[in-house]
Amino acid sequence: MSNTPEPRWVPSVAIEAIHRQQTLEHGGLQGLRSQDALDAALARPQQRWRYGELSTIPQLAAAYADAIVRAHPFSDGNKRCGFLVAVVFLGLNGFSFQASNESVVLVIQRLAAGDLPWADLEQWFVRHSVIAP
C-alpha cells in the first residue's frame, strides 16, 4: 500500500454525469456499453495506488485516462470522458492541468489507438499537471 494519504477519487455518479454532459454538448450516443468495464476502469487507479505502483496525483490521473479510454465503457465519448475524469481527479486533489487543446487531442487519440506507451502518457500528465494556487 502507498505511504501517501489516500487521494480523493472521482465517484462513479460524477463520471456518468461527465459523460452525459459531454454527449449532450458534443454529440454522440449516451449510456453505458458495459457497467463491468466502467467498474474495472474506475478500480484500476485505486488498485495501482493501493499496491504502491503509482503514488503521485498526476500518475494516477494518467491511470484514470488510460483505464477509461482503453476499457471503452460508454457507447460513445470514451476519449473525452477519460481525459475529463483525469482532469477532475487532478482538481479534486489540488492540481490543475495545463496543455494546449492540440496536445490533448493528439495524446488522447494516440492513447485510444494503442499508439501511446504508458510511460509517455504518464510523463505527459506529470509535465502538464501543476499544483493549484
CATH class held by domain 32-131: mainly alpha
pLDDT at 133 over 90: no
Among 38, 16, 19, 15, CA closest to 88: 15
Residue corresponding to grid cell 489507438? 113
50-106 pLDDT, tens per residue?
999 998 999 999 999 999 999 999 988 899 999 999 999 999 999 999 999 999 999
Predicted pLDDT of residue 1:
53
Q: What's the whole-number mean pLDDT along residues 3-11?
A: 89
Confidence of residue 18 (pLDDT cuts 50, 70, 90): very high
Among 11, 37, 22, CA closest to 77: 22
Confidence of residue 2 (pLDDT cuts 50, 70, 90): low
Evaluate whether 70 touches 121 at the Cβ level (below 8 Å): no
pLDDT cut 90: percent of the chain above it: 80
Evaluate whether 33 touches 74 at the Cβ level (below 8 Å): yes
| Chain centre distance of CA 46 | 12
Give the start-to-end residue ranges of the domains of the chain: 32-131
pLDDT at 11 over 60: yes
